[in-house]
Chains A and B, each alone.
Chain A
Amino acid sequence: GAVVSQHPSWVICKSGTSVKIECRSLDFQATTMFWYRQFPKQSLMLMATSNEGSKATYEQGVEKDKFLINHASLTLSTLTVTSAHPEDSSFYICSAPGTSGRANTGELFFGEGSRLTVL
């Protein structure tokens, strides 16, 4: 099946620094990728939808300048947490939708997730 690789799997940084998380589709092209933040007690919050070659679509309440998303190629999307603070500590997960021909099958292929801890 399709593979999505996310890196790094965990990162610890100091408050005020920026952290970049990469999400790669290894064996398929992804014109769209979704970025989620997972809070304690499991719930997944969709942060934004990244689109190759255009601006990301952010969900309501997500700061665009805080969480920079770039989808530079058909296999790579990045999330940069700028000027990170302890409240940004969380588990971030990316995913890409599977396709059959041009149709979106609805199935999502997830990265392994990135645990961010801001001190």
Chain B
Amino acid sequence: EVQLVESGGGLVQPGGSLRLSCAASGFTVSSNYMSWVRQAPGKGLEWVSVIYSGGSTYYADSVKGRFTISRDNSKNTLYLQMNSLRPEDTAVYYCARASRLDNYYYYYGLDVWGQGTTVTVSS
């Protein structure tokens, strides 16, 4: 079964760090684009980051320079290292697989999602 399971969320003080993990089963993380999306309480979805199968990484402006996306191929796991955390980073963080859904064009969609892990940044 294709599945993503996030972990690592919790309560952290402003300025602190946290590393989120996303364990995949049923497919290979390194062969896919993988993304993080977050949702602040009562708010909409905010795209955070993506790592391409080739290793290129991209970030939302709101997290650039503070967050780092990575993967461990041996563990088939995606990570999000979050540093210099701010109260506005409080959210449910989802990992998702971004699949190429067309054989000709590079149409990608987030077709598999984890259940989410909650990060709270507060003193």
Bind each other: no
